[in-house]
Amino acid sequence: MRSPINALFGLFSRDLGIDLGTANTLVHVRGRGIVISEPSVVAIDKKTREVLAVGSEAKAMVGKTPANIVAVRPLKDGVIADIDIVEKMLRYFIERVHNGSIYPSRPRVVIGIPSGVTEVEKRAAKDAAIAAGAREAYTIEEPMAAGIGAGLPVNEPTGSMVVDIGGGTTEIAVISLGGIVINHSIRVGGDEIDEAIIQFARHECNLLIGERMAEAAKIVAGSAYPLEEERRVTLRGRDILTGLPKAVEVSSIDLREAIKGPVDEIVELVKLAVEETPPELIADIMEHGITLAGGGALLLGLDKRIAAETQMPVRIADDPLTCVARGTGKVVESLMEYQNALRAGQQMRRAAVTQ
Ligand SMILES: Nc1ncnc2c1ncn2[C@@H]1O[C@H](COP(=O)(O)OP(=O)(O)OP(=O)(O)O)[C@@H](O)[C@H]1O
């Protein structure tokens, strides 16, 4: 039973859903939608551990700060690397959402976290949210939140498959009756694809390019399957031999070959999850299709490639970059409805995390 005080808080509190991603943190506020989307970066003073900046401001400080200031990504490769900094980051975002509010609100918070995170880290994330001002805090695994955000019937006795391709990780889950039945996670995502383009430029074009150039080229002309009209993109950087600025035009065919390694790993993991899925659930997935979420879902032709290799229909979720955040927002609005999902489906899980 909720106490009258809690019920009163509930009337005024702006409950939050938070996607605590490796690359970006998004905050969804009840009734308002996504109000914060910032890089998961915190700039701290090395000596005092004081937080100097969070999000875009902290990211902009990378490489331009005095020696005593460091910019930290508190989540790395889908795990919490520094819980103390995560707490500080959460506190900053929660306070920012409530800044200027006329009500003394202590929100309920649902946090989407990578499924590779241990029980201890989950507990730590919840404690961090409470310490940061939350009244109640829950964690939910990212692929489950992505499924809810994509509008899949996660609570029904029907199989749904979600492939969430983020910056640092790819997570695959088969969901039924509010629980995760099959779960795989690898530390391969958009960042690895960017790195493959950097290596291609270095070895095939004698060109040094930065991460941002590689990501931009991936978005314009990276692909996982032959395109109806192949594209061209100019890579700009520094000539390895002369040290001078240089531009090289490459085709989407070149880039497809360049990123084959990480893309193949993602596709193989999807195939493995399909092979492990019980036949009755596979029949449902054949009917409704595999759903792709996360920024990596936007890689051109990835849907076609997965469809060709698994012989299953594949669809890209609407606005895949915000799927997890919107899912956490839905959960915090209906905690009772998603109680199975919040229990993270531990009991129902058959396959362990791959890495
Ligand atoms: N149009 C696009 N085509 C290909 N990749 C894209 C596109 N848009 C964004 N991305 C990639 O999506 C990735 C970020 O996705 P997302 O924000 O879902 O990750 P995250 O949730 O922060 O990471 P993780 O799930 O690993 O914690 C980046 O690698 C980015 O380059």
Report the complex ipTM: 0.98
pLDDT in tens, 175-185: 999 999 999 99
Pocket of ligand 1 (CB under 6 A): 21-24, 78, 114, 142, 166-169, 189-191, 215, 218-219, 294-296, 298-299, 321
The stretches in the chain having pLDDT less than 70 are: 1-13, 62-64, 78, 100-105, 344-355
| pLDDT score for 345 | 37
**Superfamily of domain covering 4-145+325-342:** ATPase, nucleotide binding domain (3.30.420.40)
Classify strands 170-176 and 79-80 as parallel, antiparallel or unpaired. unpaired
Classify strands 24-29 and 33-39 as parallel, antiparallel or unpaired. antiparallel
Domains 4-145+325-342 and 154-188+261-320 share a fold: yes
Contact 30, 97 (CB under 8 A): no
Q: Would you call 208 exposed, middle or buried from its count of C-beta atoms within 10 A (0-12, 13-18, 19+)?
A: middle
Distance in Å, CA 102 to ligand 1 centroid: 36
Give the architecture-level CATH label for domain 194-256.
Answer: Alpha-Beta Complex (3.90)
Distance in Å, CA 7 to ligand 1 centroid: 38
**Ligand 1 pocket, mutate which of 198, 255, 298, 316 (most atoms under 8 A from CB):** 298
| pLDDT score for 122 | 85
Distance in Å, CA 321 to ligand 1 centroid: 7
Q: Would you call 5 exposed, middle or buried from its count of C-beta atoms within 10 A (0-12, 13-18, 19+)?
A: exposed
Give the architecture-level CATH label for domain 154-188+261-320.
Answer: 2-Layer Sandwich (3.30)
Which two three-digit tokens encode residue 162? 């979600």
| pLDDT score for 186 | 92
Round the average pLDDT of the chain to a whole number and report it: 88
| pLDDT score for 72 | 86
Which two three-digit tokens encode residue 179? 């629980």
| pLDDT score for 214 | 96
| pLDDT score for 262 | 98
Which two three-digit tokens encode residue 21? 């991603």
Every domain of the chain and the residues it spans: 4-145+325-342, 154-188+261-320, 194-256
pLDDT in tens, 206-250: 999 998 899 999 999 999 999 999 999 999 999 999 999 999 999
| pLDDT score for 101 | 61
pTM here? 0.88
| pLDDT score for 223 | 98
Q: Which atom of ligand 1 is nearest to the CA of 294?
A: 18
